[in-house]
């Protein structure tokens, strides 16, 4: 765990570590049982049990290793040296009795069945045929009959997984970094008794519940008390639960709900929040819920450490209580925008999830996001303008073709007509400058002024010898020159502008999602300073 256990607001069933286990691998040899090689050791279930390990430590994909008589595919009595394949699901059981499933991954393993010795030279060798290992020269050993598997997700459960079936869940419970910052109330309050001259801590039982379209969401504070002879502490932190009438797989929960939640919170706090933990809840029973723990490389497997200092460190644009925000409405609106391929949501994913990329790339992505937003919101108007342009173009070119082109005193020659017909734009388009002007006209004037004062804009005006160039025109030209490799700019100057543009994009995303205007203004008020 990242924090001392005293600060863990939720006790998770399993810790992120490496576990000894037994794997149930599919018996790929079943198609070759009659080839006479005598190597079919699978059972009637169509699986082969092999000992190994399951590595669930954080920072990398869930992975495992296994060894023994591997299910090699043999053809004409010979097995391929390497066996590589993909899988939807591999299952097994930890030595402690817990069941697991590795989801959406690939495997590979090696099998040697030749009593030969290969000499490679360079003071290195592979020796095959004696109990058995290869020495490669990198302090690693490849054992005969050893394999490994990597998956996108791992699920740990007290209940066995059914063969050839992805388990579905009606609910998930999770903590995300930043939830504590969008909640603008404290989880507990200090109460002072003047008569007794003593103070006490009272828990805030505030709970937010939302329901829509057969989905419900609950946001509340969880706390876990722990005491010892020298200290007493009860930390609290927000927990989010989502319940759906129609059950979903872990992958669908992650793609359709968790990632959009991350991006909504990212728009509020300025960076993509970590998922601290995730529990998937299967069918409810009369006694207790079955809560499977989900492992992924970027799930921290620890609960939020919530404190006043961390909450005050930076302000969130979203305030659940003050703004009376329905978080479920924001989430489902985000899903709608993704389904319709809204350019702002699609581009925001790249911007939010890649905060460590070069300022040049972020600048181009942010300008693209604003350009796409304007085009998306003005599609009908621009389609009408485009059609009017095409009609006018057709009319004008038609008149030109009817002119009697003489060689004496011609104003427009035949060649002129050919040039116009060939080069006149097929359709009218709105320039990036106009799109940016339209967007910035809706923002506080301080945003345009700050960008205009930036070193990037000032230096570009000087370079172009246009001191009165509009800020929007400068941004458009910089974008075009960067895209075509026609200019080199100071990354620090770019980064200063990027920070402002990122706030603008986040503010526009909140507007599109239907968040109150107050959320948008919180983001932009700091830009003006």
260-294 burial by CB neighbour count: b if 16+ within 10 A, else e? bbbbbbbbbbbebbebbbbbbbbeeeeeeebbbbb
- Mean pLDDT, the chain, whole residue set: 81
* C-alpha–C-alpha distance, residues 385 and 404, integer Å: 31
Mean pLDDT of 80-106: 87
Mean pLDDT of 252-264: 96
* C-alpha–C-alpha distance, residues 28 and 147, integer Å: 14
- pLDDT at residue 186, rounded to an integer: 75
Q: How many CA atoms lie within 13 A of 105 on its CB side?
A: 22
- pLDDT at residue 512, rounded to an integer: 96
* pLDDT winner (highest mean) among 146-150, 413-417, 452-456, 485-489: 452-456
Q: Residue written as tokens 């059609």?
A: 387
Q: Quick one: 130 and 179 in the same domain?
A: no
Q: Quick one: 314 and 176 in the same domain?
A: yes
- pLDDT at residue 113, rounded to an integer: 47
In this predicted structure, the answer to whether residue 72 has a pLDDT above a threshold of 70 is: no
Q: Quick one: 89 and 198 in the same domain?
A: no
| pLDDT tens, position by position, 80-89 | 445 678 889 9
Is 366 a member of any domain? no
- pLDDT at residue 47, rounded to an integer: 80
Residue 140 — φ and ψ, nearest 5°? -130, 150
| pLDDT tens, position by position, 32-62 | 444 444 344 555 567 889 999 999 999 999 9
Is 357 a member of any domain? no
Is 324 a member of any domain? yes
Is 150 a member of any domain? yes
Contact 170, 282 (CB under 8 A): yes
What beta strand segments (E) does 213-285 contain? 215-223, 226-228, 231-233, 236-249, 275-284
Q: Quick one: 120 and 202 in the same domain?
A: no
Q: Quick one: 445 and 296 in the same domain?
A: no
- pLDDT at residue 37, rounded to an integer: 45
In this predicted structure, the answer to whether residue 412 has a pLDDT above a threshold of 60 is: yes
Contact 100, 158 (CB under 8 A): no
Domain containing 113: what range?
A: 11-157
User: Among 132-136, 163-167, 251-255, whose mean pLDDT is lowest?
Assistant: 132-136
Q: Quick one: 125 and 175 in the same domain?
A: no
In this predicted structure, the answer to whether residue 339 has a pLDDT above a threshold of 70 is: yes
**In whole angstroms, how large is the CA radius of gyration of the chain?**
31
User: Among 231-235, 311-315, 350-354, whose mean pLDDT is lowest?
Assistant: 231-235
DSSP 76: T
Q: Specify the higher pLDDT residue, 40 or 191.
A: 191
Q: Quick one: 60 and 111 in the same domain?
A: yes
Q: Quick one: 29 and 127 in the same domain?
A: yes
**pLDDT-based confidence at residue 79 (cuts at 50, 70, 90):** very low
Distances (CA, A) of 109 to 61, 68, 125, 257, 474: 18, 11, 20, 35, 57
* pLDDT winner (highest mean) among 85-94, 222-231, 247-256: 247-256
Contact 173, 11 (CB under 8 A): no
In this predicted structure, the answer to whether residue 411 has a pLDDT above a threshold of 80 is: no
Is 350 a member of any domain? no
- Name the domain boundary from 136, 157, 178: 157
* C-alpha–C-alpha distance, residues 302 and 175, integer Å: 9
| pLDDT tens, position by position, 107-144 | 887 655 443 334 444 444 444 444 444 444 444 444 45
* C-alpha–C-alpha distance, residues 468 and 247, integer Å: 59
* C-alpha–C-alpha distance, residues 52 and 59, integer Å: 21
Give the pairing of strands 117-121 and 99-110: unpaired
- pLDDT at residue 116, rounded to an integer: 39
Q: Quick one: 189 and 263 in the same domain?
A: yes
In this predicted structure, the answer to whether residue 287 has a pLDDT above a threshold of 60 is: yes
Is 517 a member of any domain? yes
Q: Quick one: 183 and 148 in the same domain?
A: no
**pLDDT-based confidence at residue 351 (cuts at 50, 70, 90):** confident
- pLDDT at residue 129, rounded to an integer: 44
Nearest to 205 by CA among 230, 231, 223: 223
Mean pLDDT of 468-485: 95
Q: How many domains does the chain have?
A: 3
- pLDDT at residue 6, rounded to an integer: 42
Q: Quick one: 130 and 222 in the same domain?
A: no
Q: Quick one: 222 and 304 in the same domain?
A: yes
**pLDDT-based confidence at residue 303 (cuts at 50, 70, 90):** confident
In the chain, the percentage of residues whose pLDDT exceeds 90 is: 53
Mean pLDDT of 463-488: 95
* pLDDT winner (highest mean) among 107-121, 162-176, 423-437: 162-176
Contact 52, 64 (CB under 8 A): yes
- Name the domain boundary from 132, 157, 182: 157
In what helix (H) or strand (E) does residue 463 lie, and over which residues does it extend? helix 455-464
Alpha-helical runs (H) found in 405-454? 414-423, 432-440, 445-453
- pLDDT at residue 4, rounded to an integer: 46
Mean pLDDT of 354-377: 89
Mean pLDDT of 326-334: 97
- Name the domain boundary from 94, 127, 157: 157
- pLDDT at residue 328, rounded to an integer: 97
The long-range contacts involving 352-357, CB below 8 angstroms and separated by at least 24 positions, are: 352/262, 352/263, 352/266, 352/267, 352/271, 352/272, 353/272, 355/271, 355/272
Is 213 a member of any domain? yes
User: What residues pair up with 175 in beta bridges, in sequence order?
Assistant: 277
* C-alpha–C-alpha distance, residues 506 and 145, integer Å: 52
**pLDDT-based confidence at residue 10 (cuts at 50, 70, 90):** confident
Is 409 a member of any domain? no
Q: Which two tokens stand for residue 287?
A: 């006694």
SS3 state of residue 372: helix
* C-alpha–C-alpha distance, residues 124 and 157, integer Å: 44
């Amino acid at each position: 765990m990242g924090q001392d256990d005293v600060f863990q607001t939720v006790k998770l069933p399993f810790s992120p570590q490496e576990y000894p286990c037994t794997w149930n691998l599919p018996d790929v040899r079943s198609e070759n049982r009659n080839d006479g090689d005598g190597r079919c050791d699978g059972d009637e279930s169509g699986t082969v049990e092999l000992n190994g390990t399951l590595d669930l430590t954080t920072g990398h994909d869930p992975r495992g290793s296994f060894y023994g008589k591997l299910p090699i595919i043999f053809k004409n009595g010979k097995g391929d040296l390497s066996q590589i394949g993909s899988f939807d699901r591999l299952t097994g059981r930890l030595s402690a009795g817990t069941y697991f499933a590795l989801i959406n991954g690939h495997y590979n393993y090696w099998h040697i069945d030749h009593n030969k010795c290969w000499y490679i030279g360079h003071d290195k060798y592979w020796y095959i045929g004696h109990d058995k290992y290869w020495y490669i020269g990198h302090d690693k050993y490849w054992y005969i009959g050893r394999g490994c598997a990597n998956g996108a997700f791992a699920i740990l459960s007290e209940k066995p997984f059914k063969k050839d079936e992805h388990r579905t869940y009606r609910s998930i419970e999770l903590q995300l970094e930043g939830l504590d910052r969008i909640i603008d109330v404290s989880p507990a309050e200090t109460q002072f008794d003047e008569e007794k001259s003593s103070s006490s801590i009272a828990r805030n039982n505030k709970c937010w519940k939302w329901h829509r379209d057969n989905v419900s969401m609950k946001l509340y504070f969880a706390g876990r008390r722990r005491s010892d002879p020298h200290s007493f502490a009860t930390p609290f932190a927000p927990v989010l639960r989502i319940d759906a009438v129609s059950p979903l797989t872990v992958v669908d929960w992650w793609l359709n709900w968790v990632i959009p939640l991350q991006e909504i919170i990212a728009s509020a706090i300025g960076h993509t929040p970590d998922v601290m933990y995730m529990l998937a809840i299967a069918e409810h029973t009369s006694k207790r819920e079955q809560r499977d723990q989900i492992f992924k490389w970027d799930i921290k497997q620890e609960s939020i450490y919530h404190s006043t200092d961390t909450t005050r460190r930076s302000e969130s644009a979203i305030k659940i209580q003050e703004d009376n925000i329905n978080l479920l409405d924001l989430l489902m609106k985000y899903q709608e925008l993704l389904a319709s391929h809204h350019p702002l949501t699609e581009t925001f994913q790249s911007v939010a999830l890649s905060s460590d990329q070069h300022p040049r790339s972020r600048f181009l992505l942010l300008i693209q996001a604003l350009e796409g937003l304007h085009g998306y919101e003005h599609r009908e108007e621009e389609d009408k303008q485009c059609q009017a342009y095409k009609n006018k173009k057709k009319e004008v070119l038609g008149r030109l073709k009817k002119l009697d082109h003489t060689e004496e005193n011609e104003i427009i020659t035949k060649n002129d007509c050919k040039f116009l017909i060939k080069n006149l734009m097929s359709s009218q388009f709105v320039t990036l400058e106009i799109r940016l002007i339209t967007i910035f006209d809706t923002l506080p004037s301080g945003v345009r002024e700050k960008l205009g004062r930036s070193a990037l804009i000032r230096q570009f005006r000087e370079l172009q010898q246009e001191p009165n160039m509009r800020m929007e025109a400068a941004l458009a030209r910089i974008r075009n020159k960067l895209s075509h490799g026609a200019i080199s700019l100071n990354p620090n100057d770019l980064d200063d502008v990027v920070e402002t543009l990122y706030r603008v994009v986040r503010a526009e995303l909140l507007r599109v999602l239907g968040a109150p205007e107050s959320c948008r203004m919180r983001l932009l008020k700091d830009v003006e300073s």
